Chains A and B, each alone.
Chain A
């Protein structure tokens, strides 16, 4: 009963926060304006907006998505959204303008709330000390959508009591979420479920075998997997006792923080090889099981995955065939587990996977989901009876799938080759860039020396010049990531229509869209230390909105990066980077040339410091300041010495001080 109740409740797995603007801020900057940016934080995840310079009422329109693991009252700490509005100080620490503290659990329960609303800014302790203005936020609760397609297709065919139920729900949601593909998916529902069940059976055939290879594949396919998968696994690993409860309330604990995922993932790998393995291995299956159009995307995933997990894409390729069998074994172990020890656990795991795979959907969709659920419950029982039969069927199906997969693999391999080539090219580009930068730095240093030889006042002014330059520089970097984002936007324009980040419709729409996209993160290379890796996250439910390295999600020290947060929508996005938008559009049209082009333009337009990151620039300035102050100290000493001499002269022989002109004339 309780379970049923819970399952009927709607638990968000993530929240999408959009910071539109702020008003009535206190002024901490010069000339009565602020260089304001906002930090969005939930638990340990932080995102920072760009800096809105010289304004009183900054407008950002940037969004970020946070996972909401364990979304309930007992966990308010991790379900509290902080919006921290800061003023970027050129020197020293940035200043707090105010912060909004929002209890998401309460907010979620407040059904009547406006999605977009003004929140008052408080002081650093979260108290209202004085009027600090307000910030306009849009807060949307969502279910993860990303994996929906993956799991639907991969696990579809597992008719198990609760799983089935969940699956139904998922499907219902998915229908809503992916309006395009809804029809295509619906019919397959029951069928597919049986399939995957069969799959599980097949795996049982080779239960304990291939442990080693499993371990390997555990990592290889993992890299293919989207975060969600790993999340669900981590959930299992970290919260074993809770599993039974979890199975009821699928939302709870399903989403782990993306930053933690990796760690737990590994940890899990050791702890629960069997079950995790199966789940992991399902990842690729699900991918494969998806429509063929997703091939390109998969590819990207792999690459990114490889980046994240430091795994080569190749192994994955080669293992593709074997992964099948591995999968089966994994599956088998799942079954074993289920039967043997904790039925709950395995159930949960699958369910949690299901939960993860739920497409993000709005509250309106709930009704349908509930209906689906009920139907599911009935089906579950039937399904259990049917299991054996289905497993057999699944075997046959898998053979077919294998063919398809092999085809996929072929395609992927080609993709990968191409990608690798591109990567190489980009790396070269980056290296060239490096060299250029170094040259410029050297030149700068020389200039610096010259300047230092000049008089003190000259040097002071030059320092200011540098600072000014630096400022310009700071504005520069955003231009470059921008194109990537924009491209992203072009690409995801259909997505943003639904805001559901529908995975499925997109591949359907364009055959090879991801090839292009794979380029987009690359331009970031010179500026972001982790090149293409996290790009996949764009698609992952954790950060559906960002085209940025996972690093950004983990940042603890939040200096505003050029563009850590993706601007709101395709249309609006152009405003923040309006300067460069024209060029960006151009470059996004010519994808292949884009990185080159941007680099050229940037270096041409932005002078010697353009290649430096903000941190580098800051450290440069700091270094010079230190030097300056040292010299100032020396000058001071000299002045004092001269003064003392002067005093003696004044007292003993002032006539020496008679001006040169008059003494000359006197002669």
Chain B
């Protein structure tokens, strides 16, 4: 069913951001097309995968999610290790989560590959009426810091696909342009077609839909 189909790249993407901004729901929306209204705080670390088609290339996105806790944890460096992309999520209705973006950026750059592709994601656009973080402000900030930017709603499934797609595309662009030839990205890309255990995300998605 294509689950064993070859893919050209495996990209590890991490989700970061304050607790409660909707990282886990972004992940489940993207990988399972699910949204859990009363999801709990994430405990531990987990990841999901989804294979996407970028032009002619098949890319397996391995998206990692963990609790958005503040303090340093032993897993921090392990969590970032090998990540080629990151979605830095904040809640457009909670300005505090936006204010801590810089702190997350710093942690990211401290532990991850310097060439990591980062997208600033303003989640929960469904709460437009409660918005406290203006789109323009965040956009400006993203530009200034060389980040991609997208506003999403995991609840309404708005821009979730696009966000991940853009990040993966950008990663691929970097890899393809040989901008990054060393470090984790190349390592990941090396382990491509023959890798085992690759599932077709598309198929799974249909599964999920049936559920």
Give A contacts to B, CB under 8 Å.
639-640, 642-644, 646-647, 650-651, 654-655, 657-662, 665-666
Contacts and interface: CB of A to CB of B under 8 A. Distances in A.
What are the 10 closest A-B residue pairs judged by CB atoms, nearest first? A643-B74, A647-B78, A650-B78, A659-B46, A643-B75, A659-B48, A646-B75, A665-B204, A657-B46, A643-B73
A654 to B, nearest CB: 7
B166 interface: no
A666 B75 CA distance: 26
B44 interface: yes
Given A658-B46, A661-B34, 12 more contacts: A642-B44, A644-B74, A647-B74, A650-B78, A651-B78, A657-B45, A657-B64, A660-B46, A661-B32, A662-B32, A662-B199, A665-B204
A654 B48 CA distance: 11
Nearest to A654: B47
Interface centre among B32, B78, B199, B207 (most CB of A within 10 A): B78
13 contacts: A640-B74, A643-B73, A643-B74, A644-B74, A646-B74, A646-B78, A647-B78, A650-B45, A650-B75, A659-B48, A662-B32, A665-B207, A666-B199
Contacts of B204: 662, 665-666
Contacts of A639: 73
A640 to B, nearest CB: 6
A646 B197 contact: no
A631 to B, nearest CB: 17
Interface of B: 27-28, 31-32, 34, 44-49, 64-65, 73-75, 78-79, 81, 197, 199, 204, 207-208
A282 to B, nearest CB: 75
Contacts of A643: 73-75
Nearest to B28: A661
Contacts of B199: 662, 666
Contact of A662 (B49, B74, B78): B49
Given A665-B208, A666-B204, A658 B48 contact: yes
A538 B64 CA distance: 73
Contacts of A644: 74
Q: Which of B48, B65, B81 is the most central at the interface, judged by chain A CB atoms within 10 Å of its CB? A: B48
Task: Report whether over half of chain A's contact residues are helix, strand or loop; otherwise say mixed.
Answer: helix
A665 B32 CA distance: 9
Contacts of A665: 32, 204, 207-208
Contacts of A647: 74-75, 78
A383 B46 CA distance: 105
A636 to B, nearest CB: 9
A475 B30 CA distance: 53
Contacts of B47: 654, 657-659
Contacts of B45: 646, 650, 657
Contacts of B27: 659
Contacts of A666: 199, 204
Given A646-B78, A655-B197, A662 B48 contact: yes
A589 to B, nearest CB: 54
Nearest to B211: A665
B31 A662 contact: yes
A646 to B, nearest CB: 5
B47 to A, nearest CB: 6
A642 B199 CA distance: 28
B25 to A, nearest CB: 12
A644 B73 CA distance: 9
B32 to A, nearest CB: 6
A661 B65 CA distance: 14
B2 to A, nearest CB: 13
Nearest to A643: B74
A643 B67 CA distance: 12
B79 A650 contact: yes
A615 to B, nearest CB: 35
A651 B75 CA distance: 10
A655 B195 CA distance: 13
A646 B44 contact: yes
Contacts of B75: 643, 646-647, 650
A665 to B, nearest CB: 5
A647 B77 CA distance: 9
Nearest to B66: A646
A342 B81 CA distance: 97
Nearest to B207: A665
Nearest to A661: B32
A658 B204 CA distance: 14
Contacts of B73: 639-640, 643
A10 B64 CA distance: 86
Nearest to A640: B74
Contacts of A661: 28, 32, 34, 48
B14 to A, nearest CB: 11
A660 B49 CA distance: 12
A661 B199 CA distance: 14
A642 B43 CA distance: 10
A175 to B, nearest CB: 72
Nearest to A649: B45
Contacts of B64: 657
A647 B199 CA distance: 24
Contacts of B49: 658, 662
Nearest to B12: A654
Q: Find the residue from A655, A657, A662 having the highest chain B CB count within 10 A.
A: A662
B107 to A, nearest CB: 15
Nearest to B76: A643
| Residue of B28, B32, B34, B45 most packed against chain A (CB within 10 A) | B45
Nearest to B47: A657
A161 to B, nearest CB: 83
B193 to A, nearest CB: 18
Contacts of B78: 646-647, 650-651
B142 to A, nearest CB: 28
A651 B74 CA distance: 13
A659 B49 CA distance: 9
B210 to A, nearest CB: 10
Contacts of B81: 650
B22 to A, nearest CB: 16
Contacts of A657: 44-47, 64
A662 to B, nearest CB: 5
A538 to B, nearest CB: 55
Contacts of B34: 661
A606 to B, nearest CB: 35
B5 to A, nearest CB: 15
A659 B45 CA distance: 9
A642 B207 CA distance: 32
A360 to B, nearest CB: 60
Nearest to A642: B44
Nearest to A636: B71
Nearest to B204: A665
B59 to A, nearest CB: 17
A452 to B, nearest CB: 20
Contacts of B28: 659, 661
A644 B44 CA distance: 11
Contacts of A659: 27-28, 31, 46-48, 65
Nearest to A660: B46
Contacts of B207: 665
B131 to A, nearest CB: 26
Contacts of B48: 658-659, 661-662
Contacts of A662: 31-32, 48-49, 199, 204
A171 to B, nearest CB: 75
* B44, B65, B207 — most chain A CB neighbours (10 Å): B44
A184 B111 CA distance: 95
